[in-house]
Structure 1
Amino acid sequence: MSDAARARPANFPRLAGFLASEAALAFWRKAAILVLLAVAWQAAAVWAARPILLPSFTQTMAALVDGILNEGLLRSSWASISVLLKGYAIAVAMALVFVSLAVANGFVREALKTLISMFNPLPAIAILPLAMLWFGLGEASLLFVLVHAVLWPFALATLGGFDSVPETQRLVGRNYGLRGPSYVALILIPAALPSIIYGLKIGWAFAWRTLIAAELVFGVSSRQGGLGWFIFRNRNELFTDKVFAGLVLVIIIGLLVESVIFRALEAATVRRWGMQR
């Protein structure tokens, strides 16, 4: 056995310990930031002494617990997330198909670039009235605006990632006889994975905020009140603490997706392979 082979098992626990310590350090940094924000919020609310405008952090947390226990806030959140996942999956699949075709055909490539330039700057919430006119008041309208919110930024990031793949790797794939879907799946996607994951993160953020904004307008996801509708309804009833509780839950879900799901995806792929720090 070579010296490198003998050294690899010995170095692996050290590397794992280093990664664990880095993750723990990042966790405690985020926790400290959140604590400081909570303290500042509480101090500002106490100083203002106007809970109808700015409830305190403790009041908001009490409203959040009450909403979870007595008002089905988690059920409302899942109603929103389930619709988001459907739209997100449809948009990602469509974008991968479009970008793969663009790689193989110059006309499709220019058409896709033109569509991205046209529709990527267009806020998804701006087409909500059209979606309601075409699909009615329900899940189909939400899916339409969600697909629009995710499709273009993800396609842009993925196309940029494919364009950045070194020519050497492209030649290796062609020398092995890879063409079409196999060339995209085995050469382009692995090499462009950092850009693809970045596009997934941007698409998620756009989809989440678009969904909440859309629910603030008409609020029904699969015949259930979504998280945005919970915020809107309590705003109309002047339950400001519950409005803030809904907003806090929106932030918590966003943090969990970013810090748990996407971080785990990056750790299992691009970080593990040394493609990203």
Structure 2
Amino acid sequence: MLYEGVLRKMQTEIGNPIQYYLVFENDFINMNQLLDKEIQIDFIKFQCLNCGRERPIYRQGFCKSCFYDSPAAGDWIMKPELSTAHLDKEDRDLEYEKQVQLQPHIVYLANSSNVKVGVTRKTQVPTRWIDQGAHEAIEIVEVPNRYLAGITEVALKAHVSDKTSWQKMLTNRIDDVDLAEWRDKLHSSIPEEASEYFLTSNTETQMDFPVLQYPEKVKSLNLDKTPSYKGILKGIKGQYLIFDDSTVFNIRGNEGYFVGVSIN
């Protein structure tokens, strides 16, 4: 069976295990149903997620011009502390920026390869944690805008990492930790502007990923270098497909690539 479409990050549904869906314009695939089946992925062309044109993908699924023009790729996306909509100040498109920035945001702790701090919109809980391959996570602050979340993250980065080792996450060499204990330890480091939003009584969320076999070492599939790949799907974690030969494929990292997916 052949499916074709432009890659976007897989949609997810929390459960035991988490359900993954690869969604194309006119079809979708429940990826959990493909475990232990042979899949072939063929690169066909580029298709920018913003303008839809066949242009090389630069970053985040956008061609170069869209990456530097679209409000969905502003610096405040990756650096929430740069948000300015709460000041009524435009970066690229104030209406868009108000829509995204002026809504409840969560600062959280997640454990995927190590304990890390992160920021997401409240509506993206637990999706954000799933996308990062975290097997446990906890909210520590809920604030009314992205800027407050950003300055909180910056303050906490002095005490805990804000990065995930994707290789360690995919080999599942991880330790369980008490995230509530970490939350309480970091309480005094939260900036004064956000201290009133500290969450004291919530508990950890656990994530169960559909993985039959973790690799000892990982090798990443690069469609620019290997435009056709075939392997048996052994697991899905974060936004990665894990294959029987230890190849891993980052769906989100290849957004904007138009591919064919054959199921044998």
Structure-1-length-normalised TM-score? 0.22
Where relative contact order (Cα < 8 A, 6+ residues apart) is larger, the structure is 2
Q: Which has the higher helix share?
A: 1
Q: Which has the higher strand share?
A: 2
